[in-house]
Amino acid sequence: MNRRLHRIMIYTMLSIAAFVSVFPFLWLIVGATNISPDILSGKATPGHALFDNFVKLTQQVDLVQLFYNSTKIAVIATALTLVVASLAGYAFEIFRSQLSDRIFASLLAMLSIPFAALMIPLFVIMAKLHLINTHTAVIIPTIASIFIIFYFRQATKSFPAELRDAARVDGLKEWQIFWHIYVPVMRSTYAAATIIIFMANWNAYLWPLIVLQTNEMKTITLAVASLLSAYVPDYGVVMVATTLATLPTLFIFFVLQKQFVQGLLGSVK
């Protein structure tokens, strides 16, 4: 009896937690099917305006172009960040020296500099390189992500040193050890990092807003924001756009979910 009560309590708590985290998303989807006045009046039941909202959205923005831009930026940035940050994190942990530890410490210190302070120098650099209003300008500053380097360095601590030794005895060169041993062994770390980096890039707002100036270069995230900043926003349309903008990250998450959890718990068991 006692155990049953215990279970009921656990399930109740979990249900509340689940509801709280899922509710905004549900509300978003319900909102996408309603017209703007209904949403503002707090209507919480599905309506019939989904198709109309979608049509209105396609009239206001070039959805295909936006998705293409967002996907291109997020995919390229994710791939490059994974390569650069995992190599750096691996090296910082495996080839440790006093010098490399110092460099790493100063990298970490840089995490405390707010992006707002870096924005203007970055913009000037991009302008000098004639990269304003290009996707390259959006991608480059994100690649050497200190946080992701830190993440890989921590994860590398759990990579067994004897595996490296075994591989060296088996005749592998350093880069072969990285590619043939480290990468496959650490795949759940890579999966978790993929999700984090992809989401960060997909949802990036401030920096793309600054460097991307024409509509045909903009990302879906920027477009949603500009819909909201209209004089009288059509919330139904905004909800549809937001829902669509969420789908790719959701998809990536569901594909990599299992590895993601493993990666956060520690990859090598």
Partner 1 sequence: MSDLNLRDVRKSFGSFEVIKGVNLDIASREFVVFVGPSGCGKSTLLRMIAGLEDISSGDISIGGKRVNDLDPSKRGIAMVFQSYALYPHLTVRENMGFALRFAGVEKDAITAQVDGVAKTLGLNALMERYPKELSGGQRQRVAIGRAIVRKPEVFLFDEPLSNLDAELRVHMRIELARLHKTLATTVIYVTHDQVEAMTLADKIVVMREGVVAQVGSPLDVYDNPDNMFVAGFIGSPKINFVKGVVDSASKTKLKVTLPSYNNSAFDFPITASALKVGDSVVIGLRPQYFGTGGKQKFNLTVELVEHLGGESFVYAGNGSGELLTIATQSARGIKSGEKFEARFDASKALLFTEAGERVR
Contacting residues toward partner 1, per CB under 8 A: 160, 162-163, 165-172, 176, 181, 184-185, 187, 268-269
Amino acid code (one letter) for 248:
P
Shortest Cβ distance from residue 258 to partner 1 (Å)? 16
Of 82 and 149, nearer to partner 1 (C-beta) is: 82
Helix (H, G, I), strand (E, B) or coil at 52: helix
Shortest Cβ distance from residue 182 to partner 1 (Å)? 10
Of 30 and 94, nearer to partner 1 (C-beta) is: 94
Of 42 and 184, nearer to partner 1 (C-beta) is: 184
Q: Tokens 């040193």 correspond to what residue?
A: 161
How far is the CA of 20 from the CAs of 3, 14, 24, 116, 249, in angstroms? Answer: 26, 10, 8, 32, 20
Tell me if 156 sits within 8 A of 89, measured CB to CB.
Answer: yes
Shortest Cβ distance from residue 261 to partner 1 (Å)? 18
- Quick one: tokens of 41? 């009046």
Helix (H, G, I), strand (E, B) or coil at 252: helix
Of 167 and 252, nearer to partner 1 (C-beta) is: 167
48, containing H or E segment: none
Shortest Cβ distance from residue 238 to partner 1 (Å)? 45
Q: Which of 224, 244, 243 is nearest to 234 (CA)?
A: 224
Output the furthest CA–CA distance in the chain (Å, rounded). Answer: 73
Shortest Cβ distance from residue 164 to partner 1 (Å)? 9
Of 138 and 155, nearer to partner 1 (C-beta) is: 155
